[in-house]
Amino acid sequence: MPRFSVRWTLSVLLILAVGGTFLFCEYLIYFPTILKCAWPKISPARGGEGIDARPMDSAVRAMVLSDTHLLGAVGGHWFDKLRREWQMERAFQTALWLLRPEIVFILGDIFDEGKWSSQKHWEDDVRRFHRMFRHSADTELVVLVGNHDIGFHYEMDWFKLQRFEKVFNASSTRIVTRKGVNFLLVNSVALHGDSCPICQSVEKELIKLSRDLNCSLQGSQAYPPTPPIMLQHYPLYRLSDAGCTGQDAAPPEERHLLFREKYDVLSKEASQRLLQWFKPRLILSGHTHSGCEVLHENKYPEISVPSFSWRNRNNPSVILASVSPTSYALSKCFLPEESTVISVYCSAGTCLLLLLLAHCLWVKGLLQCLSLCLLGKHKSL
């Protein structure tokens, strides 16, 4: 084979291998991973979680994720920002396409720097968020507020809260009712229980909502007569993550660290108040960036939803919830692991290097062979 032809073939092979690896790691990998996920099936008779019963057409298909932490203008390297946003966009768009949720909840900390970003940077973050989490009219996107969006209690003010609420066109504390299911959204950043104006306003709203929900259970028509699914950014009070298990629980060395009230978790008082007011059948929260299942007072289950950003975890996931007015079932959908993607890149890189080395040795051998042949001919002359 002529040398030109070998070199050309090798170049084409190299381009195909590099392009194929890139295409797989950055685009295709989300498809087989998310295809493994399915909506859980619920059984009205069991009144709780289950995956082996018949599907209920009347159930709401809700996808829940948390802590996207879109990097702002100050923190984070531009490449980190580019890569994390690309990963989240691809994972979200692929999940929408394959799973077709009716409603998606994001449990706060949408933006990493909402607590201090200037108006110009805020608008840029919001524009990128809308591009990444674009969706068709069949899917509703509901966003909750987190401490990184408006600041911790001591940092938040009306300007930041209203700026956030204006972008998502809704109050941060409200009830969203779909197919007879009440989803209660709580601004958990404002539950310090002090007399700060935002805290007072949120508590007033919560008291009104709890009264309306309780009246509905007694027969009024304000809301469907069913206890709510409560969604919020901060988890309810728990001592630590020591009891958490599963592949996305906090690392063993961090699980026993005690949580600080009003910083890592809600205060005991605020948690008790929420449970008393609403008696939720399920609580979904974010903020810790790790997965956990907790049962409060032996009857109120809470799921900590891990971060959706690969900046915070090797194995982000989303919760798939099938919810009817009387029952629900949950499953966790894991997304591609960062370590798998790095392994694929490293393996492909090693193979390419070996291929290049083999080619160089082969060319070197060919040249030596040619020079020996020419030398032999010269001598024979």
Q: Footprint of Zn ion on this chain (CB under 5 A)?
A: 67, 109, 146-147, 287
Q: How far is CA 60 from CA 135, 253, 261, 327, in A?
A: 17, 38, 33, 11
- DSSP state for residue 337 in the 8-state scheme: P
Q: In what order do the strands lie in the sheet with 60-65?
A: 140-143, 103-106, 60-65, 317-323, 328-334
- Smallest Cα–Cα separation from 252: which of 239, 264, 240, 262? 240
| Alpha-carbon gap, residue 213 to 219, rounded angstroms | 10
Q: How far is the CB of 249 from Zn ion (least distance, A)?
A: 16
Give the residue with the Cβ less far from Zn ion, 281 or 287.
287
Which single residue is written with the structure tokens 């900046």?
311
Q: How far is the CB of 287 from Zn ion (least distance, A)?
A: 4
Give the residue with the Cβ less far from Zn ion, 59 or 265.
265
**Residues paired with 141 in a beta bridge:** 104
Give the residue with the Cβ less far from Zn ion, 106 or 167.
106
| Alpha-carbon gap, residue 270 to 185, rounded angstroms | 15
Give the residue with the Cβ less far from Zn ion, 60 or 104.
104
DSSP 247-305: TTSPPHHHHTSPPPBTTTB--HHHHHHHHHHH--SEEEE-SSSS-EEEEETTTEEEEEP
Give the residue with the Cβ less far from Zn ion, 67 or 302.
67
How many other C-beta atoms are found inside a 10 Å radius of the C-beta of residue 146? Answer: 30
Give the residue with the Cβ less far from Zn ion, 228 or 235.
235
Q: How far is the CB of 307 from Zn ion (least distance, A)?
A: 6
Give the residue with the Cβ less far from Zn ion, 40 or 146.
146
| Alpha-carbon gap, residue 179 to 353, rounded angstroms | 57
Q: How far is the CB of 135 from Zn ion (least distance, A)?
A: 22
Q: What is the CA radius of gyration of the chain?
A: 27
Give the residue with the Cβ less far from Zn ion, 59 or 199.
199
Give the residue with the Cβ less far from Zn ion, 260 or 377.
260
Give the residue with the Cβ less far from Zn ion, 58 or 312.
312
| Cα distance between the two ends of the chain | 28
Q: CA 215, 216, 222 angle in degrees (round to 5)?
A: 105
Q: What is the dihedral of CA 127, 128, 133, 134, to 10 degrees?
A: 50
| Alpha-carbon gap, residue 312 to 241, rounded angstroms | 17
DSSP 199-244: HHHHHHHHHHHHHHHHHHHTT-SSS-SSPPEEEESSPPP-S-STT-
Q: How far is the CB of 70 from Zn ion (least distance, A)?
A: 11
Q: How far is the CB of 112 from Zn ion (least distance, A)?
A: 8
| Alpha-carbon gap, residue 126 to 109, rounded angstroms | 13
Q: How far is the CB of 320 from Zn ion (least distance, A)?
A: 21
Q: How far is the CB of 118 from Zn ion (least distance, A)?
A: 21
Q: How far is the CB of 242 from Zn ion (least distance, A)?
A: 20
Q: Tokens in use for 181?
A: 């299911």
Q: How far is the CB of 18 from Zn ion (least distance, A)?
A: 35
